Amino acid sequence: MRSHLHKAVVAALADASRYLPRLALALVLLLLAAVLIALVTGLLKRALQRTPVKPTVGTLILSGARLGLWLAALAGVLQVIGLDKVSLALAGSAAAAVFALANGASQLTSDILSGVMLAGDRDLLLGARVTAAGVQGIVEEVGITKTRLRDQDGRLHVIPNRVLDGGVWTVHAKDSSHGAQG
């Protein structure tokens, strides 16, 4: 039993002597990554403050950037230590998560593309009275992802742009005071 314990201790020390120099380098890389991530996110935060991005969207962008940078840093540190398989598994898991988010964001992408198309449409103008998606009302806003119609009772209806762009709408009257173009 002593020889098994002795062999285990010798093997652990051999492993430790192999990983200790790598751990020091990994720690230095982790500290450098922390500084770089702080710099990059600080620059990104300042850039977002200069754009018309809503604070909640800005926070989401910053969080996503920070998460991606930390995952890349962690994968690099694991690789330096010699845990290549763990690093690959981490990178693969992150890629799968990004793919899942991208797949789930397909409706958002569709809304954005439809919003661009609707914003340029000469019939769906601010102030126009329309029927769209089963709602009759005045167009108050054609946003990047949603269009807002106010009905005659004063209720605001928020309709995803992909629904409008993929459907039929009827223009009852255009309000030329909101920039209607012939």
**Domains of the chain by start residue, with CATH:** 2-104 (1.10.287), 112-175 (2.30.30.60)
Q: Give yes or no for residue 70 having a pLDDT over 90.
A: no
Structural tokens at position 157: 């209806």
Secondary structure class of 181 (helix, strand, coil): coil
User: Residue 155: pLDDT above 70?
Assistant: yes
Whole-angstrom CA distances from 104 to 37, 113, 162 are 27, 16, 15
| pLDDT tens sequence across 6-32 | 777 777 777 667 667 777 788 888 899
Length of the chain, in residues: 182
With a CB cutoff of 8 Å and minimum separation 6, the contacts of 118 are 124, 142, 147, 161, 164, 165
The b-or-e profile of 60-70 (16+ CB within 10 A means b, else e) is: ebeeebeeebe
Give the number of other CB atoms < 10 A from CB of residue 114. 21
| Proportion of the chain above pLDDT 90, given as a percent | 23
Q: Name residue, tokens 């789930």.
A: 104
Other beta carbons within 10 angstroms of residue 146's beta carbon come to 18
The torsion region of residue 121 among left (phi > 0), alpha (psi -120 to 50) and beta comes to: beta
Strands (E), the chain: 129-132, 135-142, 146-150, 156-160, 169-173
pLDDT beyond 50 at 90: yes
Q: What is the pLDDT at residue 102?
A: 64
CB contact at 8 A, 71 and 90:
yes
Q: Which residue is it, tokens 């922390």?
A: 34
